[in-house]
């Protein structure tokens, strides 16, 4: 593969400890790896196919391009507070998203005649990272000791949905609609809390990490949502009690989950991102 990348940016510092960074970028990718039938490649070159096994092999065939803008506003540790706000707008287009994207390795796959959004084409991304740090001061259990020694970090992300290909109830792709739909926006906030203290001449830290602080139900992957003729199917899946991870709302599917019915398939945990998760630990510095 060959990638030619360009980037142009401007940085401006103001207010002593604030930095604004604006940049734009473009990547042109040629000879993108794909898979093909060995016999088909032989036929395209020589006009006939040899008798024997028909293996799937890698070859350089496709192309892709990535372009976008990024805006960063950051504040350094000039005081107790620091942070960064980032907004990214990007387009990732190409002929296939993975090196196993051809009809040799996927059933009911039609090679797109033009560039389509890639599977990882996230159009909008907003990230807010805020931090507070107060160095430990004072004797143990004094007023200053309780007020200091804290580090708090909050990271919030708002992400637009990734593209996906609608499928029929039996799981096959809808012809000609490769990555034609997008999943819903995802939002998550993570909290990291650290408390410093000293004991017996050792520096210690009490750590608490909370992932998905507000317990938001984010869609991680979309697959087999049923008939593509129902344009509101995804909204129905997410908004009603009928929707379950890994199940579809098309009663022709063996994985159907409907009112007053017993599911006939196992749920797929990959359909949803992790809900609220809390971790705690103790670090020792010596």
- Give the tens place of pLDDT for each residue, 114-131: 788 888 899 999 999 999
Residue 175 pLDDT grade (very low, low, confident, very high; cuts 50, 70, 90): low
pLDDT-above-90 percentage for the chain: 35
Is the model more confident about 246 or about 162? 162
Return the pLDDT at 96: 80
Residue 232 pLDDT grade (very low, low, confident, very high; cuts 50, 70, 90): very low
Residue 259 pLDDT grade (very low, low, confident, very high; cuts 50, 70, 90): low
- The distance from CA 215 to its chain's CA centroid, rounded to whole angstroms, is 18
Inform me whether the pLDDT recorded for 209 exceeds 80: yes
- Tell me: the pLDDT tens digits for 47-76? 777 766 667 778 887 889 999 999 999 998
To the nearest 10°, report the CA torsion of 171, 174, 179, 185.
-60
CA atoms of 253 and 272, how far apart (whole Å): 20
- What mean pLDDT comes out for the span 227-239? 40
Return the pLDDT at 195: 92
Least confident span in 44-58, 94-108, 251-265: 251-265
Beta strands in 38-149 (DSSP E): 56-75, 81-94, 116-117, 124-134
The token pair at 82 is 């620091």
Length of the chain as a residue count: 286
Residue 274 pLDDT grade (very low, low, confident, very high; cuts 50, 70, 90): confident
Beta bridge partners of 202: 199
Inform me whether the pLDDT recorded for 265 exceeds 90: no
Inform me whether the pLDDT recorded for 262 exceeds 60: no
Inform me whether the pLDDT recorded for 223 exceeds 60: no
Least confident span in 37-46, 108-117, 166-175, 185-194: 166-175
Taking the CA atoms of 141, 146, 149 and 150 in sequence, report the sign of the dihedral they define.
positive
Is the model more confident about 81 or about 249? 81
Is the model more confident about 34 or about 205? 205
CA distances from 167 to 4, 21, 180, 184, 232 (A): 35, 41, 11, 17, 14
Return the pLDDT at 62: 83
For the chain, the C-alpha Rg in angstroms (whole number) is: 26
Top mean pLDDT of 53-57, 104-108, 265-269, 281-285 is at 281-285
Is 206 within 8 Å of 284 (Cβ atoms)? Answer: no
Return the pLDDT at 84: 95
- What mean pLDDT comes out for the span 274-284? 92
């Amino acid at each position: 593969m060959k990638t030619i990348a360009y980037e142009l940016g401007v940085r401006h510092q103001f207010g002593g400890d604030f930095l604004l960074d604006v940049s734009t970028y473009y990547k042109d990718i040629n000879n993108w790896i794909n898979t093909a039938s060995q016999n088909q490649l032989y036929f395209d070159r020589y006009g006939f196919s040899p008798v024997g096994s028909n293996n799937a092999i890698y070859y350089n065939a496709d192309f892709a391009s990535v372009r976008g803008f990024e805006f960063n506003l950051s504040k350094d540790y000039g005081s107790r507070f620091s942070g960064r706000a980032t907004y990214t707008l990007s387009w990732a287009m190409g002929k296939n998203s993975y090196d196993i994207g051809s009809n040799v390795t996927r059933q009911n796959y039609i090679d797109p005649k033009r560039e389509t959004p890639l599977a990882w084409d996230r159009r909008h991304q907003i990230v807010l990272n805020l931090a507070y740090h107060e160095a430990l001061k004072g004797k143990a259990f004094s007023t200053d000791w309780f007020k200091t020694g804290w580090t708090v970090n909050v990271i919030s992300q708002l992400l637009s949905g990734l593209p996906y290909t609608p499928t029929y109830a039996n799981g096959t792709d809808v012809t000609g609609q490769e990555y034609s739909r997008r999943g819903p926006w995802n939002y998550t906030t993570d909290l990291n809390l650290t408390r410093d203290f000293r004991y017996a001449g050792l520096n210690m830290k009490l750590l608490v990490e909370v992932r998905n602080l507000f317990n938001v139900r984010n869609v991680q992957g979309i697959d087999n949502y049923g008939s593509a003729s129902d344009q509101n199917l995804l909204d129905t899946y997410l908004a009603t009690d009928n929707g379950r991870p890994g199940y579809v709302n098309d009663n022709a599917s063996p994985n159907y989950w409907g009112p007053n019915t017993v599911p006939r398939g196992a749920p797929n945990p990959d359909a949803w991102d992790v809900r609220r998760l809390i971790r705690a630990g103790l670090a020792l510095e010596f």
